[in-house]
Structure 1
Amino acid sequence: MSNSLKQRLLDRARNRRDSETPAAGAEAAPRVSERFTRFDLQPGYQQLQMMRSSGERLGIDDPFFRVHESSGGATTVIDGRECINFASYNYLGLVHHPQVIRAGIEALERYGSSVSASRPVSGERPIHQALESAIAECYASEAALVFVSGHATNVSTIGYLLGPRDLILHDEYIHNSTLVGAQLSGARRMSFTHNDPQALEALLERHRGQFERVLIVIEGLYSMDGDAPALERFVALKQRYSSWLMVDEAHSFGVLGESGRGIGEMSGVATQDVDIWMGTLSKSLAGCGGYITGCRALVDTLRYFAPGFLYSVGMPAQVAAPSLAALQIMRAEPERVTRLHHISRYFAERARAKGWNTGDSIGAAIVPVIVGSSAKAARASARLLEAGINVQPILHPAVPEKSARLRFFFSCEHTEAQIDTTLEALDRVL
């Protein structure tokens, strides 16, 4: 072999080796399993596919994301057919009230479809201030603040107020938004047995001295079971152990109390005895978003520093205005709350008389019928829809399998005749 040919072969081998060797300072790309890069292999999607396959084997249609072709109240339209509806949080029947609709239209025409910026920058409108003043007045508190999302209200408030040296104690059935807020805060988190002040006191006695701030979070009305806490006992504990108490009134405001002012009114507890009142605008108040109300120092702090408010676009005027109108109607027409209480109890009492398990529901807007298995609940929901009755099943893992249920939400617009029709259909189905 000539020297020139030998040199050419050596050069070719060296070039091949160099192309296969990482450059100086670079590392070879790691080998990563497809299960970490493909969305269809992620645990959530795998679980969803398993649920869908189980439903197909049992002959059960997906009960979720049913398309409603009208406003949801005591009735709704699904697949072109009017149904009796028990799957709406429209407790006071105000979503389609002419005064509420008109308020939204007038705000849209005056302020446009978006405030286009965060409220501290250039998104503040008079309607925001009017709504917050009305909420604060309703609670007899110093100030209030509205957020564009109910979920973000809890996440941002709890996430900002607490830190790693603090402790959050919450009911074991607390809403996901509180859990996410607690994770964001970095605070230590512990749950206590549902609606059990003694279990809470045991935690306070053991841990209060180890933390700077302690926040206790409960709900005014629990949406899975329709039960309520003994608020006065939780107030006594927060005072005894120098803690903050936060009450999530997403489902209790507009529902509990003689005039719908919530669990404080029902319990006879002064609003000032609760440090943080939270609620949503999407249920009784016929809008979208959430609110915090309490002392001015709390609200001013959140107004200037809570990320979910400070860095978010302001609530559209046509969303704020209907909620303000709904609040005004609620206060002017307390008979709506009275009718809601009556129709809820009417269903609950007759369901229990038939031997159905309604859990610990107090018979105010939310009454579950616990059937004991996810398959049975989903099948019952499908058969009721065939009969012209829309009620959603609550399945595992949202609740334990043995606690799978049909969950009935009531509106003041439901009639006794609609309840009787529903009870007869339930008899056939169950």
Structure 2
Amino acid sequence: MKTETHVERLRARLLGKAGTERPDAQASALRAVSTRVKPGPEHYDFAQFPELREYTSTRWYYDKQGYEWNMFREHVGVASAEAEVAGRRVINFSSYNYLDLAGDPRVQEAARKAIDDFGTSTGSGRIIMGEIPIFAEFEREVADVLGVEDAVLGVSGYGTNVATIGYLARRQDLILYDELVHNSMLTGAKLSGARRFAFAHNDYDALERLLVEHRGHFERVLILTEGVFSMDGDIPDIHRLIEIKKRHHALLMVDEAHSMGVIGARGLGVVDHFGLNGADIDIHYASMSKAFATIGGYVAGRKELITMLKYYAPGLGLYIASPMPANAAAGLAALRIMRAEPGRARRAVDNAAHFRTRAREAGLSTGLSDGSAVVPVMLADAELALWMSARLFDNNVFAFPMIFPVVPRDAARLRFFINTAHTREQIDRTIRLLVELKAAAPASKGLF
């Protein structure tokens, strides 16, 4: 029997052929589990798909209530503490430009220079001919900030999360995730084919029980959490999670989309916030569309992890074009400003603390939010959230409603992203409006 060489195995991976079943074997397996289906229009006519019916029903509700459609709403100019939307200047609580760097001249100039130096595209994937110095500069610097060995920059925040989890976890592996992690983590977990269990939000005893029961039946085990939970604005006990993952020989991945650049004495995320050794978190991830004021994502950790992701992970190292030079340069400039100007992060967190304090004093619930720049205002139901969002916009305040399926049916809310540029006057005015509107709200009709 011929022995497959390392070069042959690498070639098979690069061509996407490693580990695939023969087509005839796949067809036989599919026939064994499938049942006869008589195709109807709902199977081939997009207009009959249930998703489209859901969209149509939602548009009907907005029209019936006299609300302006609030999705894909255009704005002009930079989305800072204020923005121009539909021809009016509004106080903006729906952009996660936490450090107000999206319009910073230094970040803009870095993006422009990258276009001058490298064009709008590198022209291919990084593994082929798409590598430029900016990528490695960003990776070295973010690894240094986190206290780990290496990092890899990805094109998309969402895609980087999906690609990392989808590659690292396999059918013989287990993923345990906090029930409130972001959809990108859930999608990566589903695509991986690994066995998956959710544990109740920040319930570390529940996580421990799952590990005791299931750890011995799987090879790799990934534990997924966030640095700041994007819907609730709370921060998990990373120390406890590190202790648990070490005891059970698992891997811990932390999604820092809303924590990196914001929490911690220097605003540098959970490592800074908890005073951690960065190596104690196995997989550091962050989207760059928040504090970094650009798009993309990164993964950081041990050099061996990053080597595998760069050379083998589809959607991160393979089968995908490189990041845009301008986006990478903007992210690098933002990271350097974060390090040089920690006061930006402190102002964002202080502004959010002021919002929470005023809201609670006024009898509004801000749920679990604590210590971050994400503050929900919890409401009785989805109809109230939609009505209050519409009325706030009438009063030149933009806050987006979060309703099912983004949050549970009984956990509707308005979500407020607080940034370093918000003023106390803007926050106080918004709290007064929320109290007045809640008192004047119509009774729910139970339509959602």
Same fold (TM over 0.5): yes
Aligned residue for 1:115? 122
Of all paired residues, the percent bearing the same amino acid is 43
Is the alpha carbon distance of 1:383 and 1:227 closer, same or farther for their aligned partners in structure 2, counting shifts above 3 Å?
A: same
Determine if contact 1:231/1:264 at 8 Å carries over to the other structure.
no
Match of 1:62 among 69, 88, 107: 69
Aligned residue for 2:162? 155
- Deviation of 1:304 after TM superposition, in Å, equals 0.2
Match of 1:268 among 250, 271, 275: 275
Determine if contact 2:375/2:416 at 8 Å carries over to the other structure.
yes
Distance 1:375 1:160 in 2: 40
- Deviation of 1:31 after TM superposition, in Å, equals 6.1
Aligned residue for 2:153? 146
1:70-85 to 2 correspondences below 5 Å: 70-85=77-92
- Deviation of 1:363 after TM superposition, in Å, equals 4.3
1:37 and 2:44 correspond: yes
Aligned residue for 1:130? 137
Match of 2:334 among 323, 326, 334: 326
| 1:294-313 alpha-carbon deviations (Å, 9 max, x no partner) | 00000001000010121111
Determine if contact 1:165/1:211 at 8 Å carries over to the other structure.
yes
1:376 and 2:384 correspond: yes
| 1:119-176 alpha-carbon deviations (Å, 9 max, x no partner) | 0100000011111111111101100001000111111111111111100000001111
Distance 2:410 2:364 in 1: 14
1:246 and 2:250 correspond: no
Amino acid at match of 2:105: P
Between stretches 267-276 and 289-298, larger displacement belongs to: 267-276
Distance 1:322 1:73 in 2: 17
- Deviation of 1:57 after TM superposition, in Å, equals 2.8
1:11-410 to 2 correspondences below 5 Å: 32-309=39-316, 310-410=318-418
Amino acid at match of 2:39: V
Determine if contact 2:139/2:150 at 8 Å carries over to the other structure.
yes
Amino acid at match of 1:46: R
Amino acid at match of 1:388: N
- Deviation of 1:34 after TM superposition, in Å, equals 1.2
Between stretches 307-316 and 420-429, larger displacement belongs to: 420-429
- Deviation of 1:429 after TM superposition, in Å, equals 1.3
Unaligned residue ranges in structure 2 (runs of 5+): 1-36, 439-448
Amino acid at match of 2:76: E
Q: RMSD value over aligned CA atoms? A: 1.1
Amino acid at match of 2:254: V
Task: Report SS of the residue matched to 2:78.
Answer: coil
- Deviation of 1:62 after TM superposition, in Å, equals 2.4
Amino acid at match of 2:431: L
- Deviation of 1:287 after TM superposition, in Å, equals 1.0
- Deviation of 1:402 after TM superposition, in Å, equals 2.4
Larger radius of gyration: 1
Determine if contact 2:235/2:372 at 8 Å carries over to the other structure.
no
1:407-426 to 2 correspondences below 5 Å: 407-426=415-434
- Deviation of 1:113 after TM superposition, in Å, equals 0.8
Task: Report SS of the residue matched to 1:64.
Answer: coil
- Deviation of 1:46 after TM superposition, in Å, equals 1.1
- Deviation of 1:203 after TM superposition, in Å, equals 0.2
Distance 2:352 2:107 in 1: 24
Determine if contact 2:267/2:345 at 8 Å carries over to the other structure.
yes
